[in-house]
Structure 1
Amino acid sequence: MELYFLGTNAGVPSLQRNVTAIALRILEERRSMWLFDCGEGTQHQILKSPLKLSKLEKVFITHLHGDHLFGLPGLLSSRAYQGGTTPLELYGPKGIKAFIEMSLELSQSRINYDLKVIEHDGGIIFEDDQFVVESALLDHRIDSYGYRITEKDRPGKLDLEQLKQHGVKPGPIYGKLKRGEAVELGDGLVLHPHQVLGSPKKGRIVTILGDTRPAPNVVPLARGADVLVHEATFLHELVDTAYEYHHSTAVQAAEAAKQAGVGQLIMTHFSSRYKDLDELTPLLEEARGIFPASFVAEEHKLYPVVEKQG
C-alpha cells in the first residue's frame, strides 16, 4: 500500500505544483488503485507517473470545489483509451452525480465501462472482505469530507515445514487454508487453519482529509492511523487568514496528528505563495516542532504506508 501525490497545491495550479489529487496504490492487496480528489490536469500528471488508469477502481471526492474535481470529466472520458474498461465507482458529496451527468451529457462523452456514482453524507460508505472506508464531515466553506481507509487484518503466513510434513504440496489446499477453511487430507486427517497459520497481520489505516479548519471529526477519523494526510495551506503566522478561508496551518495539522496518535503526518494543499520545495521548509519545521514524524508531500513521489510503531 502506497500513497502517490499527483497534486499538492491549493486553489490553483502553479508552475511548481498541480492542484489536489492523491492516489492510493493497493496493487499487492487488490491489484488496483484508488484516487482521492481529481483536480484539473490530474490525467496529465498520471501520464507522467508509474500509475495506470487501467488499475483505477474507485474515486473518492472530498468536496465540490473546482481544484478538487475539475479533472474528473476528462479523466473519466479518456480512461477507456488507456485500458480502463473495468467498472469504476465514484464516491462524493451530494451534487457529484449531477456534475458528472451534466458534464458527460453536454460534451457528448462516451463511456464504455460501468460507472457507478454514489453520493454520501458520511458513515461507512464501502466495505468488502479487505477494506472498510468511513467518511465524516469536516469544516469548510462547503460540505467537505475526510476518509478513513481501514485494511482488515490479513491471514498469517503458512507454516510450510509443517505442511510438508503432512505431505501437502503448493496448490489449492494452500488457498483454502489461507481463506480460513479446514481441509481433509488423503489419510482422513482434518487440517485446521489455526494449526498451520501464523498470527494475523494487522491491517493498516490511512486517513485522507479534505479541506478543513480544525474540526470535531478530524481526530476521530485519524485516531491510530498509520498515515494521516492533512491540509496545511499556511504557516501559523497566517492562522487568522486560514480560519477566514476555512483552512488549516501546518501547526494545526501537527496538533491533530499528535492528538490522534498517528504514525506519520503528510501535509499537502499548500498555498501558491510557497513556491519551491525550499519555501515549504518553514511549514515542515513548524509541524515537526509539535509532531516529529511530519512530512511535506512531494509530487511524483511514493510514500509507503507502513504500520506505525508502538
Structure 2
Amino acid sequence: MELYFMGTNAGVPSLERNVTSLALRLLDERRSFWLFDCGEGTQHQILRSPLKLSKLECIFITHLHGDHLFGLPGLLSSRAYQGGDTPLALYGPPGLKKYVNTSLELSESRINYKLEIVEHEGGCLFEDATFRVESAKLDHRIASYGYRVIEKDLPGKLDTELLKKYGITPGPLYGKLKRGESILTPEGKHLQPADVLGQVKKGRVVTILGDTRPCPAEIPLAEGADALVHEATFLHDLAETAYTYHHSTARQAAEAAKEAGAKSLYLTHFSSRYKYEDQLQRLKQEAEEVFPSSRLAREHELYPILRSGE
C-alpha cells in the first residue's frame, strides 16, 4: 500500500504543482489502484507516473469544486483507449452523476467498460473481504467529504512444522484454517486456527480528507490512521483567511492529526502563494511544532504505508 500524489496545489495549477489528485496504490493487496480526486491534468500526470489506467479500480471524489474533478471526463474517456476494460466504480457527492453523464454525452465520448457512479452523503460506501471505505461530511463551502480506507486484518502465518506433526500437508485444509475454520486431523483431533496460526497482521488505515475547515467530523475519520492526508492551504498567520474560505492551516492539520492519534500526516493542497521551497518548509515546520510526524506531499513520489512493526 502506497500513496502517490499527482497534484498538491489549491485552486489552480502552478508551474510547480498540479491541482488535486492522489492515488492509493494497492498492487500487492488488489493488483490495482484507487484514485482520490481528479483535478484537471490528472491523466497527464498519470502518463508521467508508474500507474496504468487499466489498473484503476475505484475513484473517490471529495467534492465538486473544479480543481478536484475537472480532469474526470478526460480520464474516463482515455481509460477506454488504454486497455481499461474492467468495471470502474466512481464515488462522490450528489451531482456527480449529472456532471459525468452530461460531459460524456455532449462530447460523444464512448467507454467500453462498466462505469458505476455512486452518489453518497457519507456512511459505509464499500466493503469486501479485504477493505472497507467509510465517509463523513466535512466543513467546506459546498458538500465535501473525507474518506477512511480500512484494510482488514490478515491471518497470521501458519506453523507448517506443527501441522506436519499433526499429519496435515499443504492443501485445502490449510485454506480452511486461514479462513478461521477448524479442521479434523487424521487422528481425529479437532484443530482450531488459533492452535497453528501466528499473530494476526493488523490492517492499515489511510484517511484522505477533502477541503475543510477544522471540524469535529475529521477526528473519527482520522482516528489511529497510519496515514492522514490533510489540506494545509495556508500558514497559520492567515488563519482568518483560511476560515473565510473554508480551508485549514498547516497548524490546524497537525492539531487534527494529534487529536486523532494518527501515526503520520501528509500536508497537501498548498496555496499558489507558496511557490518556493523555503515557503513550503515553513508549512512543514509549523505542522511539526504540533505533530512531529508531518511531511510535505511531493508530486510523483511514492510513500509506503507500513504496518506497525515493519
TM-score by length of 1: 0.95
2:263 match: 263
| Equivalent AA in structure 2 for residue 295 of structure 1 | R
Deviates more, 1:122-131 or 1:95-104: 122-131
How far has the Cα of 1:187 moved from its partner?
Answer: 5.3
Is the 8 Å Cα contact of residues 166 and 186 (structure 2) preserved in structure 1?
A: no
Whole-angstrom distance in 1 between the partners of 2:172 and 2:27: 22
Spell out, residue by residue over 1:239-282, the C-alpha distance to the aligned partner (whole angstroms, 9 max, x if none): 11111111110010011111111100100000111123332000
Instruction: Note the C-alpha offset of 1:288.
Output: 0.3
Aligned partner of 2:9 in structure 1 is 9
Letter in 1 for 2:79: R
Which residue of 2 is the match for residue 58 of structure 1? 58
The alpha carbon displacement at 1:199 in A equals: 2.0
The one-letter amino acid paired with 2:147 is: Y
CA distance in 2, matches of 1:83, 1:196: 43
Q: Tell me, yes or no, if structure 1 residue 221 matches structure 2 residue 221.
A: yes
The more displaced of 76-85 and 115-124 is 76-85
Structure 1: how far apart are the matches of 2:16 and 2:61? Answer: 23
Q: Alpha carbon RMSD of aligned pairs, Å? A: 1.5
Aligned-pair identity in percent equals: 70
Taking the TM superposition and a 5 Å limit, the aligned residue runs for 1:117-136 are 117-136=117-136
Secondary structure of the residue aligned to 1:50 is coil
Count residues in correspondence: 309
Q: CA separation in 2, counterparts of 1:125 and 1:266?
A: 24
Residue in 2 that maps onto 1:290: 290
The equivalent residue for 1:73 is 73
CA contact (8 A) 1:227 1:263 kept: yes
The structure-2 alpha-carbon separation of the partners of 1:54 and 1:186, relative to structure 1 and needing over 3 Å to count, comes to farther
C-alpha deviation, 1:174, in angstroms: 2.6
Q: Equivalent residues in 2 for 1:27-176 (5 A)?
A: 27-176=27-176
Q: Does the aligned pair in 2 maintain the 1:263–1:308 contact within 8 Å? A: no
Offset of 1:188 from its aligned partner? Answer: 4.8
Calculate the TM-score normalised by the size of structure 2.
0.95
2:204–2:307 CA contact under 8 A, matched in 1: yes
Give me the whole-angstrom Cα distance separating, in 2, the residues matched to 1:36 and 1:71: 12
Confirm whether residue 181 of structure 1 aligns to residue 174 of structure 2: no
Match of 1:278 in 2: 278
Question: Is the Cα–Cα contact under 8 Å of residues 167 and 186 in structure 2 kept in the other structure?
Answer: no
The whole-number CA distance in structure 2 between the counterparts of 1:89 and 1:49 is: 22
Deviations 1:133-156 (A, max 9, x none): 111111111110011111111111
- 1:229-248 CA deviation, whole Å, 9 max, x = no partner? 00000111111111111111
Structure 1 residue runs of 5 or longer lacking an equivalent are: none
